[in-house]
């Protein structure tokens, strides 16, 4: 785990916390005799810390964003896709402890598993070293994406609707594709169809977020 800690820029005093953050429920369930806990409670804590740090970032660094749009931009910064990219940058999939079933079905590269592990890792850093190093990690690895703050409202569904309506008679429909995760950490996947054809897909913590991300995905195709 030393090479991972070097990538993180953080050295754990309690190595078990790091191992705990990288233990998926499938591994814990298959190895109950070892008395291992999975990382789901850490995910819950990490999600809260991530939300607070991101809110501070938007408030302090982006004063031009009105209150009504801050939640939308925060969701975009910390959505599953963004955290998945963080996990790939850290090669987190190589370190996660998975059960045999998840291992055999490509769990090491599954966005939901990797993004959850990033949240668990944030919580582990917080519990090991406090708020400052957790905030530093989030600043260095998560809050690095450039967002188009000039979008009229940040409402991708509205922007897509306006774009599609330029051609009379076209229809837009959002459909739920899947729902996964525990009650405290749900993931919803939606697709958006234009005239019955799938144009975009998005995964988020709420149905509204998933629809927004699906609309953003579709906008790229509509405008290309």
Verify whether residue 201 is a known catalytic residue.
no
Could you give phi then psi for residue 187, rounded to 5 degrees?
Answer: -130, 130
DSSP H helices in 91-153:
100-104, 111-129, 131-141
Could you give phi then psi for residue 77, rounded to 5 degrees?
Answer: -70, -30
Catalytic residue among 102, 119, 209, 211: 119
Residues across the chain? 224
Verify whether residue 119 is a known catalytic residue.
yes
Backbone CA torsion sign across 41, 93, 199, 79: positive
Using an 8 Å Cβ cutoff, are 59 and 133 in contact?
A: no
Cα 43 to Cα 64: distance, rounded to the nearest angstrom:
31
Catalytic residue among 40, 47, 85, 209: 47
Using an 8 Å Cβ cutoff, are 85 and 10 in contact?
A: no
The DSSP symbol for 157 reads H
Residues recognised as catalytic: 47, 119
């Amino acid at each position: 785990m030393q090479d991972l800690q070097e990538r993180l820029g953080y050295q754990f005093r309690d190595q078990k916390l790091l191992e705990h953050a990288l233990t998926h429920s499938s591994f814990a369930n298959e190895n109950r005799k070892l008395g291992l806990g999975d990382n789901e409670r850490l995910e819950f804590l990490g999600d809260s810390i991530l939300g607070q740090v991101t809110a501070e970032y938007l408030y302090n660094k982006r004063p031009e964003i009105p209150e009504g749009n801050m939640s939308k931009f925060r969701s975009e910064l910390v959505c599953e896709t963004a955290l998945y990219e963080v996990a790939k940058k850290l090669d987190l999939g190589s370190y996660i402890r998975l059960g045999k079933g998840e291992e055999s079905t490509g769990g090491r590269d599954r966005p939901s598993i990797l993004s959850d592990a990033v949240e668990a890792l944030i919580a582990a850093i917080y519990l090991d070293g406090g708020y400052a190093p957790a905030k530093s990690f989030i600043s260095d690895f998560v809050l690095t994406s450039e967002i188009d703050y000039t979008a009229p409202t940040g409402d991708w569904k509205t922007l897509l609707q306006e774009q599609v309506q330029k051609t009379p008679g076209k229809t837009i429909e959002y459909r739920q594709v899947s729902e996964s995760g525990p009650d405290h950490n749900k993931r919803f996947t939606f697709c958006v169809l234009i005239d019955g054809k799938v144009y975009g897909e998005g995964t988020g913590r709420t149905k509204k977020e998933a629809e927004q991300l699906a609309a953003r995905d579709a906008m790229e195709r509509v405008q290309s």
